[in-house]
Amino acid sequence: MGAPLPDVIQTAVITGGAKGFGAIATRTLHAAGFRVVITDLDQDAAGALASELDLAGETAVTATLDVANPADFQTVLDKVIDRWGSAEVLVNNAAMTQARPVLEIDPAEFNTVMAVNAGGCFAGCQTFGRHFKERGYGRIVNMASLAGQNGGTATGAHYAASKGAILTLTKVFARDLAPFGVTVNAISPGPMDTPMVHGIVPEDRMDGFLAGIPVGQLGRPEFVAKMVAMLCAPDAGFTTGACWDVNGGLYMR
C-alpha cells in the first residue's frame, strides 16, 4: 500500500495555516514530527509562525495560497517537491463566511463562500490527490463543520452548504484514492471556545447555550488538532471516507 519508511520525515501542507485553528493544527503537526508548509494569504502571520516553530526554516516554511485559485495548489505542491521531494499530508482548513440570514445572502456572496470553502477543498484534494496517488501514499484531512451536518445557519447558510459539500467530496475522493494508499477523512467540529463562537453567542446567554450541549461545555481547538494529527499518521491507513465528530454530543449518529 506504499507506506513511507519509518525514518522518512513527512511534510504536511496546511491551508489557512497561519492563524486561528489553522495555526493550532500547524503547531500540533510540527510537534508530532512533521515538516509543515504554512499556506496563507497573510504572509506576515505565516512567517511569524514559521519562525516560532523553526527559526532556521528547515522544518517550517511558508507559501502564499489563495484556495479559490486552483492553480495555486499546484504552485505550492511544486515548491514542496522542489525542496523536499514530495508531500505526504494535506489539511484543507482555509474557510470563510459572512453570517447573515439566508434571505439576505446575495448570490455573489454565496458563490464566493462556496468557491473558497468547497472549491478550495476540491482543488486541494484533486491536486494533491494526483501526487499522492502517484506516490502510493497520502493523507488528506478536510475541515467540515457541524453546520454542514445539521443545516445550522448561525455562521451563514452558504457556510453550512459549503461544509456539507466538503463531507460529500471527502467520500468521493476517499473512494477514488483508497486503492492507492491514500486516505481522505473529514472532521466536523461543533462549538469551540473561540472568538467566533463568543461573537455569536452573547455572554448573558452562554449558560443557556452550554446547557444544550450534552457535555455541558465548549470544545477546545486542541481537541480537533489532535484528531488531525491522528488521521495524518501512517498507521491511520484503515480509516478513510469518515466524518469524525468533535461536537460535545450535539449531533449523534
Burial class (CB in 10 A: 0-12, 13-18, 19+), 233: middle
Residues noted as catalytic: 159
φ, ψ for residue 41 (rounded to 5)? -75, -25
φ, ψ for residue 232 (rounded to 5)? -90, -10
How far is 134 from 25, CA to CA, in rounded Å?
A: 26
Cell match 523553526: residue? 54
* Residue 147 CA: distances (Å) to CA of 143, 151, 153, 180, 213: 12, 5, 7, 31, 15
Q: What are the respective helix, strand and coil percentages of the chain, to the nearest 5?
A: 50, 15, 35
Burial class (CB in 10 A: 0-12, 13-18, 19+), 98: middle
Q: Return the DSSP state at 69.
A: S
For 222, the grid coordinates are 486542541
Cell match 511558508: residue? 62
* Residue 8 CA: distances (Å) to CA of 4, 62, 84, 86, 143: 7, 21, 11, 11, 26
